[in-house]
């Protein structure tokens, strides 16, 4: 009986010891799991070994369809080598070129980028993801670029067409049309270098600061019904399209006797 009691007491003490160990370490294990999960979801502290010359770049205005170019500098202000520097743009319309993929402590690299504005209008912004390695850690940062986009520059006329109603054959006329270039940048100038008119219309240009006045005059030809011809104008800039001004004449109905005369 004594041996059995001793064995029973030993078993009970063993079980009690296991229970005490479980109680003692269970909170610690729970906190350990919690801390592990938090380390996964908690954002890492801001890395300060790289410094951008600019984080938000606003480029010069361009016309829609033109390339817009810019650059920034990236400096290593830490004491460890930065390697595997790469940049990825958010839009396939942007191009990137790096002066180097390694930045030694205290040194700087240049990132050149370009944005193709075809099909884009107003302010277009793109983001650039910069990835790199430092101390065997893969890190990243971002910079942003915005390019103001003007509508395609073109010659416009006000009014856009000349229309004459109930015109009479042999009657004289005169009209003034204002010409300008829509969305012309302030640092650009253009000139009207060529124009053509129907043989019954003469034209005279008057330059007035940022626009022109086109004075048209002539005598209505011997026509009947509805007659349409064109005044064509061209500038010395290949960027701006040719301007065409329709001249629409609706002749008055006259008697056969008058028409013969």
CB 153 within 8 A of CB 235: no
Measured between alpha carbons, how far is residue 195 from residues 146, 161, 164, 177, 235 in Å? 39, 16, 21, 14, 9
Q: CB neighbours of 206 closer than 8 A, spacing ≥ 6?
A: 212, 213, 214, 215
Q: To the nearest 5 percent, what fractions of the chain are helix, strand and coil?
A: 15, 50, 30
Q: Global pTM?
A: 0.46
Q: For residue range 132-167, list pLDDT tens digits in order.
A: 999 889 999 999 999 998 765 567 788 888 889 889
Domains and CATH numbers, the chain: 50-150 (2.60.40.10), 154-260 (2.60.40.10)
pLDDT band at 41 (very low <50, low <70, confident <90, very high): very low
Which neighbouring-strand residues pair with 58? 146
**Mean per-residue pLDDT, 201-216:** 83
pLDDT above 90: residue 26: no
pLDDT of residue 226: 85
Which neighbouring-strand residues pair with 247? 162, 229
């Amino acid at each position: 009986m004594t041996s059995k009691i001793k064995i029973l007491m030993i078993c009970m003490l063993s079980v009690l010891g296991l229970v005490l160990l479980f109680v003692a370490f269970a909170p610690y294990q729970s906190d350990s799991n919690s801390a592990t999960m938090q380390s996964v979801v908690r954002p890492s502290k801001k890395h300060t070994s790289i410094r951008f010359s600019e984080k938000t770049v606003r480029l010069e205005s361009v016309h829609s369809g033109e390339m817009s170019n810019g650059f920034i500098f990236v400096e290593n202000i830490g004491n460890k080598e930065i390697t595997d520097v790469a940049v990825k743009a958010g839009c396939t319309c942007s191009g990137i070129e790096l002066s180097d993929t390694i930045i030694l402590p205290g040194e700087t690299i240049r990132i050149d980028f370009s944005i193709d504005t075809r099909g884009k209008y107003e302010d277009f912004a793109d983001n650039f993801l910069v990835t790199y390695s430092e101390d065997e850690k893969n890190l990243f940062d971002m910079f942003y670029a915005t390019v103001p986009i003007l509508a395609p520059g073109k010659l416009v006329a006000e009014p856009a067409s000349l229309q004459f109603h109930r015109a009479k054959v042999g009657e004289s006329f005169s009209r003034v049309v204002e010409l300008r270039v829509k969305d012309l940048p302030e640092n650009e100038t253009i000139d009207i270098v060529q124009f053509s008119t129907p043989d019954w219309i003469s034209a005279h240009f008057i330059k007035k600061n940022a626009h022109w006045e086109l004075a048209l005059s002539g005598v209505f030809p011997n026509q009947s019904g509805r007659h349409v011809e064109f005044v064509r104008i061209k500038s010395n800039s290949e960027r701006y399209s040719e301007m065409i001004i329709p001249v629409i004449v609706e002749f008055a109905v006259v008697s056969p006797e008058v028409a013969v005369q």
